[in-house]
Amino acid sequence: MIQLIRGFKDILPGEGELWQHIEKTAVALFEAYGFSEIRLPLLEKSELFARSIGEDTDIVEKEMYTFPDRKGDLVTLRPEATASIVRSYIQHKLYAQDPVQKFYTIGPMFRRERPQKGRYRQFYQINAEVLGVDSPLIDAQLIFMLVTLFSRLAVKDVEVHLNSLGCPACRPEFKTALSGFLIGLKEKLCADCVRRSDRNPLRVLDCKVPSCREALTGAPSLLDFLCTDCKTHFQTVQDALRRLEISFTINSRLVRGLDYYTRTTFEIQTRSLGAQNAIAGGGRYDGLIQLLGGPDMPAIGFAIGFDRLVEVAGLDRCDFINKPDVFVAALGAKSMQAAFDWSCALGLAGVTAEMDLTGKSLKSLMKRADRLGAAYVLIVGADELEKGEVLLRNMATKEQTAVPLTGIVEKVAVIVRSGRRPL
RNA sequence: GUGGGUGUAGCUCAGCUGGCAGAGCACCGGGUUGUGGCCCCGGUUGUCGUGGGUUCAAGUCCCAUCACUCACCCCA
């Protein structure tokens, strides 16, 4: 048997409906705030990610699906969406029409990590990005949208973690101070942190090893090093969040894994996902557009882990399963023909009709109708055809109505519609 | 990439110190000659993850491998 590739998964019928519901909820929300959909390729030149995400990140160093195409060009299955969004914004000069652009996009990303709860090699993200807006108010609005979405999807125990990473004017100063602090501490840190302290000292801050955390208690805080502009920006974000009644925690150790982040960064966490507790993360990346060859434009965005969101959404999967309105139970070959014609016509009339084509006993047909959750069963047999009327059984009330054969499709459709609950 | 746990019927799992591969659910049929859910009776379903090894004999012990899973790492 050929099995699927490690870390990949099938979204089976029964789950698909829930995925769709979540997607629709997100799209409706984004559109209400003026975001438009952008659809992007899954494959990009490898160089795009190396430049945007950062050569020294784990993603680029060891997690990307990178391979030469048939001509020998290095291509990569996208590990995230922001790089492509920015690439597209620059390439099509979208800023020329209107410097402010708001996008959302939903789709698969690929990273070759070891699979775990809520972590797959092909995983899905919902992204929203605002390009060309400097104002800290937009930062708050994005967080507001995330919190709103999670509440609409009944996600429990949502926590907003907030930090500012500063800008090219103030971050280097902090990095120097941090490096200085770390030098004296090398023997107290774990092996990973010793390596990090040279290459990417910021990452030492969110190490989970208890001894490292302890050693870092007196470490300089990023927030003390922010320049005046960054400080004001961060303060405005917080004030706006308070006005929007969103509770948040400032976590000066919240560091992003991608190099391009500046200023505001945030992460939405929830319990009940084990170690993979982040369901969304994002932040500002003011320098990225210019870095990739575009104009000097600010930008901010977030990514939601779709797979994780599906796991923590407080929704009953059964509520979204597609149930037939009518199950057509045909007994005998002659009945089968008539029943088949009617079930096709019912579909056109907007009534979901399901029927069994294998010629089973009425008992098993009834069982099947019950399992599928059909609202009605239309019983069609030789006796009924002779009498000129078939029986429509309401599965909930067990009431049976005789429906004459003339105009049967319309009559069934009327009864089914009247029985449907208004949405 | 590192470490732990788990792979037996479609699903959930039992199977002892090696000795004929099992149960519940599901499915199919019958009781009810044409009416679902409850009840009763009967029936189908297996490369015991895969490949080696030890043994008279391996689901069981050993090695390898694949997959799932949890954690580290990293990240959404």
Please state the rounded mean pLDDT for residues A259-272: 87
Contact A143, A266 (CB under 8 A): yes
From residue A143, alpha-carbon distances to A64, A92, A129, A246, A300 in Å are: 29, 28, 12, 9, 11
Which helix H or strand E contains A401, and what residues bound it? strand A400-404
Higher pLDDT, A312 or A89: A89
Q: Considering only CA atoms, name the residue closest to the C1' of nucleotide B76.
A: A305
Mind giving me the DSSP string for A1-18?
-PPPPTT-----TTTHHH
- Protein CA A65 to sugar C1' B51 (Å): 30
pLDDT band at A420; cut points 50, 70, 90: low
Among the ranges given (A54-63, A65-74, A336-345), the one the predictor scored with the smallest mean pLDDT: A54-63
- Protein CA A192 to sugar C1' B7 (Å): 34
Among the ranges given (A212-216, A240-244, A310-314), the one the predictor scored with the smallest mean pLDDT: A212-216
- Protein CA A116 to sugar C1' B54 (Å): 36
Beta-carbon contacts of A381 under 8 Å, excluding residues fewer than 6 positions away, are A330, A331, A332, A335, A362
Whether complex ipTM tops 0.90: no
pLDDT band at A13; cut points 50, 70, 90: confident
Which nucleotide is closest to A125, CA to C1'? Answer: B76
Contact A377, A362 (CB under 8 A): no
Q: At what angle do helices A82-91 and A46-53 cross, to 10 degrees?
A: 110
Question: Which pairs with CB-CB distance under 8 Å and at least 24 residues apart come from A49-55?
Answer: A49/A76, A49/A78, A49/A79, A49/A80, A49/A83, A51/A291, A51/A292, A52/A82, A52/A83, A52/A86, A52/A258, A52/A260, A52/A288, A52/A291, A52/A292, A53/A79, A53/A80, A53/A83, A53/A258, A53/A259, A53/A260, A54/A258, A54/A259, A54/A260
Residues A154, A170: Cα–Cα separation, whole Å:
39
- Within 13 Å and on the Cβ side, how many CA atoms surround A354? 17
The amino acid at A72: G
Q: Considering only CA atoms, name the residue closest to the C1' of nucleotide B50.
A: A1
Residues A397, A406: Cα–Cα separation, whole Å:
25
The average confidence (pLDDT) of chain A is 88
Q: What angle do CA A130, A87, A62 make, to 5 degrees?
A: 105
Q: What angle do CA A394, A395, A399 make, to 5 degrees?
A: 40
Please state the rounded mean pLDDT for residues A190-198: 73
Percent pLDDT > 90 in chain A is 50
Residue A177: per-residue pLDDT: 86
Q: Which nucleotides of B are covered by protein (CB under 7 A)?
A: 1-3, 26-30, 32, 34-37, 47, 66-76
Which nucleotide is closest to A58, CA to C1'? Answer: B74
- Protein CA A379 to sugar C1' B46 (Å): 38
Does the pLDDT of residue A389 top 70, yes or no? yes
Which nucleotide is closest to A360, CA to C1'? Answer: B28
Residues A162, A251: Cα–Cα separation, whole Å:
6
- Protein CA A328 to sugar C1' B28 (Å): 20
Residue A12: per-residue pLDDT: 82
Which nucleotide is closest to A281, CA to C1'? Answer: B76
Question: Which pairs with CB-CB distance under 8 Å and at least 24 residues apart come from A188-193?
Answer: A188/A212, A188/A215, A189/A215
Does the pLDDT of residue A387 top 90, yes or no? no
pLDDT in tens, A358-372: 778 888 888 888 888
Residues A337, A320: Cα–Cα separation, whole Å:
31
Residue A376: per-residue pLDDT: 92
SS (H, E, C) A135-175: CHHHHHHHHHHHHHHHHHCCCCCCEEEEEECCCCCCHHHHH
- Protein CA A120 to sugar C1' B74 (Å): 12
Mind giving me the DSSP string for A31-82?
HHTT-EE----SEEEHHHHHHHH-TTSHIIIII-EEEE-TTS-EEEE-S-SH
- Protein CA A274 to sugar C1' B67 (Å): 22
Does the pLDDT of residue A423 top 70, yes or no? no
Sheet of strand A400-404, all strands in order from the earlier edge strand to the far edge = A353-355, A326-330, A376-380, A389-394, A400-404
Residues A200, A196: Cα–Cα separation, whole Å:
5
| Surface-to-core class of residue A243, CB atoms within 10 Å of its CB (0-12 exposed, 13-18 middle, 19+ buried) | exposed
Contact A139, A265 (CB under 8 A): no
- Protein CA A321 to sugar C1' B40 (Å): 33
Q: Considering only CA atoms, name the residue closest to the C1' of nucleotide B2.
A: A114
Residues A197, A190: Cα–Cα separation, whole Å:
11
